[in-house]
Chain A
Amino acid sequence: MKIDSEDPKLTAYALGELDPSEVDAFERILEECPEAKSEVDAIRGAIKTIKKEFDEAPKKKLSEEQKQILFSNEVDVILDPGPDAFSKVNKWLGVTAAAACFVGMGIVGLRSVKQEIQEDSDYAGKRADATAANFPEPVPVEKAQLVKKQSENNEQLFKLSKKRTDKAATADPFTSSDLADSKESAASLAFEATVSEGEAIVDYDANGIANKRNSKQELGKKASPKPSSLRANSIVASAEAPLSNDLLSVRDLRSNQSKDRGFLKESEKKDEISGEEQNLSSEQYGVYYDTPFFPTLERPLSTFAIDVDTASYSNVRRYIGRRGQLPPVDAVRVEELINYFDYDYPYSGDKHPFSVHLETSSTPWKAGHRLVRIGLKAKDMKVDKRPPSNLVFLVDCSGSMGNPDKLPLLKKSLVSLVVNLTEDDRIGIVTYAGGAGVELDPLHGDQKDKIIEVINGLRSGGGTNGEGGIRVAYDLATKNYIKGGTNRVILATDGDFNVGISDNSKLVELVKGRAEKEKIFLTALGFGEGNIQDVRLEQIANNGNGEYYYIDSIKEGRRVLVDKMSATLVTVAKDVKIQVDFNPRKVRSYRLIGYANRRMRAEEFRDDKKDAGEIGAGHVVTALYEIVPAGSTNEEGDVAVKSKYRKSAKKDERSDIIESEELLTVFLRYKGPEDGIEDEAKEFSVPLTDAGKGWKNSSKDFRFASSVAGFGMLLRNSKFGGQVNYDLLLELASEGIGDDKNGLRKEFVELVKTAKAITRAKNDSE
């Protein structure tokens, strides 16, 4: 009898799945049929490979939050061994759940508070039931710990639980009204801030894990101190202001804002939110509002801090390129998109560490408007000429870092950095989870083998080590400080950075203090999907005088840590501020594109204590302004000032305007990298006269940058988008592609095409 290679028995036999009664007969056939035998061998070989690869594949793990939900009830019981456990358990669970939402997640949406209140009544009836069914009787603490220690795999869970316990304990003194009052004042404060700034930077929980917690885990529902939170709720709702503890802000605000912006229909809004809930586990983004047009006569000065971050672009690329979906609006920071690309601005002169290049043409997406580009180019520094570096990597090794796009990617990126170090450099590694803190006492860059060995030995898993972390990293950097060199802590995390200081404002304070006093800067590298705390990472890097990069691939890791190493590591100027003075004779109104969270007050420009952005060697920074020319009938941005003490709006009062053909003047102010907070900054300025060029005659870089800006506006559904559309963007980008040595511009063109296809598919299905 012959066996066909298609016969599934071959595989069944190789796997030991053949029915025992058939095995003998089958083996006899194999003896007679060498082809069949070699086929079995080949199958066995393949099976071995498959098994091996599955075994060696990194273990996939639930996030710590997800696990936390699974085991939270038992911890709550441990907290309370008293005899009246029943009622106390309820109380504890409530507080703990609230604490977990507020502290653990940092942020809780108004939406979920409302939900809680609504569900509270439904819940009341089930309460006794649920408690009896879900929660075991209290067991003594020691015993419970013993049980846990036996299971080493659960150590992490235990520590997590412990963390929650501690948080719950600090939350204990909360009475209902305290909680509500603090919410109220936070809310009204936030509201004031919103009004006075004209823009707000707020956080929200991109998904509402908190919501999930509440619905999945019955215990969350009784958390809200009812009457007072209702009160807080109504106040907040009427003020449309956010609430939460330290960083407050909320999705409802965002929804309202969306409505104000007038580009989201009710149904779209719903879709958007449910889409987020489906797709992100706990990624957090700040909410950014596009800066509006301001009238030149009322506000001739526009001031902002430069920003060289590029994290938003890598993140947008991940969404569109890899996940095939459009990113959440607030994950898109237009300036970070623009600044991801290199532009060919030459560095000239040696008086200042960077030079400025201005260009203006018509606005591609709005007839009659002008577009002004301000380009900064910092002086280059050859890799072999860069000053020695003292780098301490602070690496998140928590369980969630195990995914291939996290720790393994970080390790590869680190190795490629180490290869480029020299003996003058020093590198140290501190982990803040799963290990004992200092993994590598700083070694000189020529001891590459040893360094790489330590890097390769980094493992994820294990609980959070609160003792290790950020202080240790800074202390190590201080101990090895290189005068005149680059001294930097580089934080690498997927977002869950419990670095030993859980209070965000304290963390910011620490990072800021170390940067100011000890001149040790901080760079943040974000990794992975699903948990990235975008807003916190950006905030920390800003305060640490550093940059924030999102590493989505080994290519990006090399770009940041190898290709851009000088720029990433060597700061040539800090606290760089730009102030643009517009000539009202030429400019009716203007708007800054992007930099929404970098805008400053005009008087802060010459306040040298005021922190701003850093620029690294070879860095290129680009900012765009859209201008409504004087004489245009477009009233966008005009504000009619109505005051009962004045006869008319001020806008026609032009008596004091001097004669000048200039469009605007750009003022720049900066400090040297070693300057302290008391040192005076240097300043210079560059005027611009508009030659009236059309955008089709603008430089390639100009066209490319405007395509990227337009892309950002489109993704943000910006109401200032005018006639912007994908075809226009593709035209601009293809015309502006230039040499494109690194292929990044081509990649951008592909990204726009993909976004276009996604948008079309989405529209078609609606």
Chain B
Amino acid sequence: MLENNTANERDKIVRRALIEFESALIGYAASIIKDEDRAKDVVQDTFIKLYEQDPEKVKESLKAWLFTVCRNRCFDVIRKEKRMINVEDDQLTVIRDVADDPSRAAERADEHSNVIKFLDRLPQNQREVIRLKFEGDMSYKEISQITQLSVSNVGFLIHAGIKRLRGLLSDQVA
């Protein structure tokens, strides 16, 4: 019956994780790998990994565990992809050009609220900590654990990121 209990615990913890963090994890992963479909795959992998853990060990720090695994997985995916299709700079330019195409801007505005849209204009590290802070609802300390940055560094990035977002938002109003 011991096996059974553990399995039930596993099940419970995955369900809990799914309910609480599914959306935030997808958003976070998508902000790193820039593709929601692949982000979902990463998040699915993360939950599958969670299934394989000893529930006792991950229960306490579930959130940090999930975001850390998810983050590592994202970078795995990016590394793997780089090996496969060497993402050259001009290819990235292509993607960006299209994204910045004014004829599409209106459509994108329909899809995302302003802040989330503007997040994409922030440097990767600022974008990441801001997502963790507000979408993941984490403390500086938790963010520091996940990103391996110091707490003061996290504080600095969040400060700078919010400042930049304020600028972008007020530009838009003006």
Contact pick for B166, options A46, A275, A409, A743, CB 8 Å: A46
Task: Determine whether the beta carbon of A761 is less than 8 Å from that of B15.
Answer: no
A12 touches B140 (CB 8 A): yes
- Is A529 interfacial (CB 8 A cutoff)? yes
Pair count A-B, CB < 8 A: 182
B21 vs chain A, min Cβ distance (A)? 11
B113 in contact (CB, < 8 A): yes
The answer to whether A56 and B113 have CB atoms under 8 Å apart is yes
Whole-angstrom distance between the alpha carbons of A412 and B107 in the complex? 12
In the assembled complex, the Cα of A71 lies from the Cα of B16 at a distance in Å of 13
* Chain B residues, CB < 8 A from A153: 15, 19
- Closest CB of chain A to B107's CB: distance in Å? 5
Q: Is the Cβ of B26 less than 8 Å from the Cβ of A62? A: yes
Contact present for B4 and A136 (CB under 8 Å): yes
Flag if A324 contacts B98 (CB, 8 Å): yes
Instruction: Enumerate chain B residues within 8 angstroms of A15, measured Cβ to Cβ.
Output: 133, 140, 158
Query: Are B111 and A66 touching (Cβ within 8 A)?
Result: no
Q: Are A53 and B114 in contact (CB under 8 A)?
A: yes
Contact with A53, one of B38, B94, B116, B162 (Cβ below 8 angstroms): B116
- Which DSSP category, helix, strand, loop or mixed, fits chain B's interface? helix
Q: Could you say which residues of chain B place their CB within 8 Å of the CB of A765?
A: 85-88, 91
Q: Are B115 and A49 in contact (CB under 8 A)?
A: yes
Give the docked Cα–Cα distance between A554 and B8 (Å).
Answer: 45
Please measure, in the bound complex, the distance between the C-alpha atom of A54 and the C-alpha atom of B130, giving whole angstroms.
Answer: 11
8 Å CB contact of B165 from A46, A323, A404, A757: A46
Q: Which residue of A lies closest to B136 (CB)?
A: A54
Question: In whole angstroms, what is the CA distance A650 to B104 when docked?
Answer: 57
The reply on A516 being an interface residue by CB < 8 A is: no
Quick one: closest B residue to A553, CB to CB?
B107
B109 to chain A: closest residue by CB: A554
Q: Which of A216, A275, A405, A553 contacts B48 (CB 8 A)?
A: A216
Q: How far is the CA of A407 from the CA of B161 in the complex (A)?
A: 31
On chain B, the residues within 8 Å of A137 by CB distance are 1, 3-4, 7
Given contacts A11-B159, A322-B98, A324-B98, contact A61 B26 (CB under 8 A): yes
Given the interface pairs A70-B47, A74-B11, the reply to whether A279 lies near B35 with Cβ below 8 Å is: yes
User: Which one of A54, A279, A758 has the greatest number of beta carbons of chain B within 10 Å?
Assistant: A54
Contact of A69 among B48, B101, B112, B135 (CB under 8 A): B48
* Interface residue count on the B side (C-beta < 8 Å): 66
* Residue pair A278, B95 in contact (C-beta under 8 Å): no
User: Taking CB as reference atom, which chain B residue is nearest A747?
Assistant: B103
User: Are A151 and B38 within 8 A (Cβ)?
Assistant: no
Q: Are B112 and A404 in contact (CB under 8 A)?
A: yes
* Cβ–Cβ contact A50 & B165, under 8 A: yes
> Is B171 in the interface zone, CB < 8 Å from A?
no
Q: Considering the chains assembled together, what is the distance between the CA atoms of A405 and B37 in angstroms?
A: 13
Kindly identify which residue among B37, B81, B156 contacts A280, using a CB–CB cutoff of 8 Å. B37
B148 at the interface (CB under 8 A from A): no
User: How near does chain B come to A352, taking the closest CB pair, in angstroms?
Assistant: 38
Question: CB-CB contacts of A209-236 with B at 8 A, as 1s and 0s?
Answer: 0000000100000000000000000000
Distance, CA A6 to CA B161, complexed state (A): 11
Residues of B close to A57: CB separation below 8 A: 27, 112-113, 116
Q: Smallest CB–CB gap between B26 and chain A, Å?
A: 4
* Cβ contacts under 8 Å, A151 to chain B: 15, 19
Decide if A412 touches B37 in the complex (CB within 8 Å). no
Closest CB in chain A relative to B28 CB, distance in Å: 10
The complex places the Cα of A750 from the Cα of B104 at a distance, in Å, of 12
Contact partner of A11 (CB less than 8 A), chosen from B98, B113, B158, is: B158
Query: Could you say which of A8, A62, A74 contacts B40, with CB atoms under 8 Å apart?
Result: A62
In the complex, A50 Cα to B160 Cα: how many Å? 14
Say yes or no: is A539 at the interface (Cβ < 8 Å to chain B): no
In the complex, which residues of chain A have a beta carbon less than 8 angstroms from the beta carbon of B155? 8-9, 11-12, 17
**Interchain CA distance A321-B101 in the complex, whole Å:** 10
In whole angstroms, how far apart are the Cα atoms of A137 and B139 in the complex?
Answer: 39
Cβ distance B54 to chain A, nearest Cβ, rounded Å: 11
A154 / chain B contacts, CB cutoff of 8 Å? 15, 19
- Which of the residues B84, B111, B130 comes within 8 Å of A404, measured between beta carbons? B111
Q: Which residues of B contact A10 (CB under 8 A)?
A: 159
Residue of A nearest to B89 (CB): A761
- Residues in B with CB closer than 8 Å to A757 are 90-91, 94
A275 to B35, CA, bound (A): 13
Write out the residue numbers on chain B whose beta carbons fall within 8 Å of the beta carbon of A761.
88, 90-91, 94
Q: Is A357 an interface residue (CB 8 A)?
A: no
Q: Is B58 interfacial (CB 8 A cutoff)? A: no
Q: With A and B bound together, what is the CA distance between A255 and B65 in angstroms?
A: 41
Binary B-proximity of A745-761 (CB < 8 A = 1, otherwise 0)? 00100100010011011
Q: Is the CB of A60 within 8 A of B37?
A: no
17 example contacts (A-B, Cβ-Cβ < 8 A) are as follows A5-B163, A15-B140, A17-B140, A47-B134, A50-B115, A60-B22, A62-B18, A74-B7, A136-B7, A153-B15, A322-B98, A403-B36, A405-B111, A409-B111, A757-B91, A762-B85, A764-B88
Please give 11 more A-B residue pairs, beta carbons under 8 A apart, in addition to A62-B40, A408-B111, A529-B36: A10-B159, A11-B158, A49-B169, A66-B44, A70-B18, A70-B51, A134-B7, A321-B101, A324-B95, A408-B110, A530-B36
